[in-house]
Every structure is written in C-alpha cells, then in structure tokens.
Amino acid sequence: MVNYDENIWFTHSSAAARQAVDVLQGRKVIPHDLRKAALETHLTFPTDMASACADGNDVAVVEVSTLRRHHVQGVELNAHKVYGIAAESGVAGRSVVQGNVELLPDGHILRDMQVAVTSYDDLKADLVSIASRLDCPVLAVDHLYSELPDGSPVPERLALTQALSGVASETSVDFLSTKAKILEIGLTEALTDQNHYRPGVEADVGRSLLDRIRSLVN
C-alpha cells in the first residue's frame, strides 16, 4: 500500500509496487484513462501524481500478494479494478482477470491487456530497485498463508512465499511471511477465507509486522 496525498494506492505485484515508486518520484505519470484500472481508490485523482512522501522513509513495506501481472500500454494494472471494469462492460470479470480479453468489445481500454507471471529474476529486480531508489530497508510481505481442504498449501501462495524467501536470501531485502503467525493462531481462528483475516486478528498480525519494522529501523 502506498499513500500519496489524499489517495491510498494498493498494489499486488512487485511490478506494480515498483511502478508506485516511479509515480511517487515523478518518473512516471499514468495516463488519465488508465488510472481507474491502475489505482484501487475511489477518490479524486490528483493532477500531480508525484508526492514528497516518497522521500525520507525509514522502511518500505512491500506486500506482494501475487506473481501474476496485468499490464497494458506499459502501465501495471490492479486486478481488483480490472475485474470491476470488465463487469461494468457486462463481461465475466474473473475471465478477463485470467487473461480472456477477447471477451471485451473492440476498442475497450482493457482489450490489449496482457497477463503474465512474474519471473524470479523480475521479482528480485523489482524489489532491489525499490530498495535502491528509496534508499531505505525494504521489507517484503507475502499474501495470507492458506491451505486447501486436504491440508496442503495453496500452490500459488506457496510459490510466492518461496520466491520471496529466495530473494531475501540473495539480497538485502528482508522478508516476513504470514505463515508462522497464521499457524500460531490457527487457520480457522485466523481467517474467514483465503483472502481475509477474522476481525481482531489483524491487530495481532500487525504487532508482528511492527516488531519486524522496528528491528530494521534499529
């Protein structure tokens, strides 16, 4: 999550997080017609997308919740917004998020969208770039640890966690997985579903995150 001026911008992929830094530092301006698909906010978009809040950070926390990227015209998109925009057009949002852009009408802003899986090298490059440009420690956090009914980890989540752990072992980027805290609390007690904590659990998880942030500052 990146907060600039009055907007809260949620990112999901490492490429989108890198793009957020580009925007914050004035290196990139997202075209007006793509902002609705790139930014997860319902507030008025500022005319100047850059912000001074990218300067003087103690720690940058980057939640990478997926290895899947959605991009068009050089702009990283937000999967939640892609889903909603597709649904507004009368098309199954989930299908478009999965890359079936042919379902959209000709001329639709998402018709040329590409969906790809972030490679390990690109994941590492994105996070190292963020650390270099913000000139502060970077703490990567993965998506919620979750399991299938048979007790095995969700494959996509496992791949993400393993990739982030690998990056942390090879670079200065730190990594905090959600797995330990969720298993400590218990899957049923911690989660309402694969994507959401139960009420009250977020504060407990937040304390663990804050402890790690403090260790990086000190």
Does 108 map to a domain? no
Between 5-14, 74-83, 189-198, the lowest mean confidence (pLDDT) is in: 5-14
Query: What mean pLDDT is reported for the chain?
Result: 88
Which pLDDT band, with edges at 50, 70 and 90, does 28 fall under?
confident
- pLDDT at residue 137 is higher than 90: yes
Report the pLDDT averaged over residues 85-112.
95
Between 20-34, 123-137, 141-155, the lowest mean confidence (pLDDT) is in: 20-34
Report the pLDDT averaged over residues 60-89.
94
Report the pLDDT averaged over residues 48-67.
75
Does 6 map to a domain? yes
Does 103 map to a domain? no
**HEC assignment per residue over the chain:** CEEECCEEECCCCHHHHHHHHHHHCCCCCCCHHHHHHHCCCCCCCCCCCCCHHHCCCCCEEEECCCCEEEEECCEECCHHHHHHHHHHCCCCHHHHHCCCHHHCCCCCCCCCCEEEECCHHHHHHHHHHHHHHHCCCEEEECCCCCECCCCCECHHHHHHHHHHHHHHHHCCCEEECCHHHHHHHCHHHHEEECCEECCCHHHHHHHHHHHHHHHHHC
Q: What is the number of domains present in the chain?
A: 1
The range of the structural domain enclosing residue 159 comes to 2-77+113-217
Does 65 map to a domain? yes
Does 104 map to a domain? no
Cα–Cα distance, 174 to 164 (Å, whole number) = 9
- Name the percent of the chain lying above pLDDT 90: 68
Does 82 map to a domain? no
Does 152 map to a domain? yes
Report the pLDDT averaged over residues 22-35.
86
CATH code, domain carrying 122: 3.40.50
Between 30-39, 48-57, 87-96, 100-109, the lowest mean confidence (pLDDT) is in: 48-57
